[in-house]
Amino acid sequence: MKVVVIQGPNLNMLGMREQNIYGPVKLDDIHAQIEGVAKQNNVEIEFFQSNLEGEIVDRLQECYGDADGIIINPAAYTHTSIAIRDAIAAIQIPTVEVHLSNIYQREEFRHKSLTAPVCAGQISGFGPMSYHLGMISIIQIMNEVASMREAQAAQIAQQNLQG
């Protein structure tokens, strides 16, 4: 199984920017922690970060047929990008949206996520632990999808034997 972690604008500045909101942890530290969880669960992991909306859309589309799950922090694009929302919906890969800060405790314009409705779920407000929870969630979702596919294949095989 493969998970792609997609990071939106300004997340490359973690550890330097607005530490009162995002904390002192750098993006590389978050990725190292996620990588540890992935290794423990025999999951291939890939990281991508861009400040450009179109590059994020392109990377989402590239996941089609290549990834089993996505963790995305669209950052500011959470609240503005119909294009990212539509890309997530189009590829139909289980996706978990994560945010370091609790977007519902912040400015009112951050209270609306355009991307969350097309994701399996959203985790917000737990700092770097949001990514850990996102990784656990996407692994669980991928395992459930794999189990459903196996059950469907077994059912089809049984029907073929009977028919």
Residue 16 is predicted with a pLDDT of 86
Positions at the binding site? 73, 79, 86, 100-101, 110
Which strands make up the sheet holding 44-49, listed edge to edge? 44-49, 2-7, 69-73, 95-99, 121-124
Residues catalogued as catalytic: 22, 99
**What pLDDT tens digit does each residue of the chain (163 aa) get?**
999 999 999 999 998 887 777 778 999 999 999 999 999 999 999 999 999 999 999 999 999 999 999 999 999 999 999 999 999 999 999 999 999 988 887 878 778 999 999 999 999 999 999 999 999 999 999 999 989 888 888 888 788 887 6
Structure-token pair, residue 124: 């917000």
Amino acid at 150: E
133 phi and psi, to 5 degrees?
-65, -35
Does the global pTM surpass 0.85?
Answer: yes
Count up the domains in the chain and report the number: 1
Positions at the binding site for substrate? 73, 79, 86, 100-101, 110
Domain with residue 105: its CATH number is 3.40.50.9100
Rounded to the nearest 10 degrees, the angle between the axes of helix 53-63 and helix 82-91 is: 0
Domain span at 76 = 2-162
